Amino acid sequence: MRHHFCAASDKRTKNPELAKIGFQVQREAGEAQQQEVPGPAGTIVHNVADQTVTVDAMPDGASFNRVYRQVLGGDPEIAGVSNTTTVSVTQIAGPLTPGATYEFWLVGVNSAGEGPESNHVTHTVPVAP
């Protein structure tokens, strides 16, 4: 079966028939609505056993979550990303240094940027005996 679309899909034409089959009317350049940055992230919990950070729900409007970590006195770095509510703190930045104190936080991210930070959680990595 072959489908043909006529001038009904031209700019500014409103056609309920196109809506029925999932097509939208074309917009002029610049008319697309800008996406807003994600809403605030909820409260995070750090799981020491598997070195992850978990939040109850994805921030509103977020495509994925990004976790940052900062060793005490150092610069923040991206630790991990995930499109779920659980994110590794070692996925991107590598293993944690024994004896170092880290601070972790999460932000929701989409094409417009990062949303507000979650609470910050501090963890001191134990030194192996």
List pLDDT tens digits, range 19-64: 666 666 666 666 666 789 999 999 999 999 999 999 999 999 999 9
State how far the Cα of 48 lies from the Cα of 89, in Å rounded to an integer. 10
List pLDDT tens digits, range 68-96: 999 999 999 999 999 999 999 999 999 99
Same domain as 49, residue 87? yes
Whether the model pTM is above 0.85: no
Four-CA torsion 5, 10, 15, 20, nearest 10 degrees = 50
Is there a contact between 80 and 63 (Cβ–Cβ < 8 Å)? no
Same domain as 118, residue 62? yes
Q: Domain for residue 93, yes or no?
A: yes
Q: Domain for residue 65, yes or no?
A: yes
Same domain as 77, residue 24? no
